[in-house]
C-alpha cells in the first residue's frame, strides 16, 4: 500500500546510500519475505558494544 510516496522514495534512497557506504557492515533484507526474514533472524549474532541496543 502506497500511503506516502514521497516518504517511501526517500526511505529507498536512504537504504541505497546505506548499502553503498556500509555494504560490508550491513545486510539489507525484506522483512516482508518470511523465509528471508527468518534466515536472517536465525543467523543474527548480536554483540554487545557500548551504546548498542543489545548492551
Question: Residues 4-46: pLDDT tens digits?
Answer: 999 999 999 999 999 999 998 888 888 788 998 888 888 876 6
Predicted local confidence at residue 16, as pLDDT: 93
20, 26 contact by CB (below 8 A): no
pLDDT score of 52: 54
User: Of 45 and 52, which is predicted with more confidence?
Assistant: 45
CA angle 11, 29, 43 (to 5 degrees): 145
Of 1 and 3, the structure prediction assigns the larger pLDDT to 3
Question: Could you give the residue ranges of the DSSP H alpha helices within the chain?
Answer: 5-22, 34-43
SS3 call for 31: coil
Amino acid at each position: 500500500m502506497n500511503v506516502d510516496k514521497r516518504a517511501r522514495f526517500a526511505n529507498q534512497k536512504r537504504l541505497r546510500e546505506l548499502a553503498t557506504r556500509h555494504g560490508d557492515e550491513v545486510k539489507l533484507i525484506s522483512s516482508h519475505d518470511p523465509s528471508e526474514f527468518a534466515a536472517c533472524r536465525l543467523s543474527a549474532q548480536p554483540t554487545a558494544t557500548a551504546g548498542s541496543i543489545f548492551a
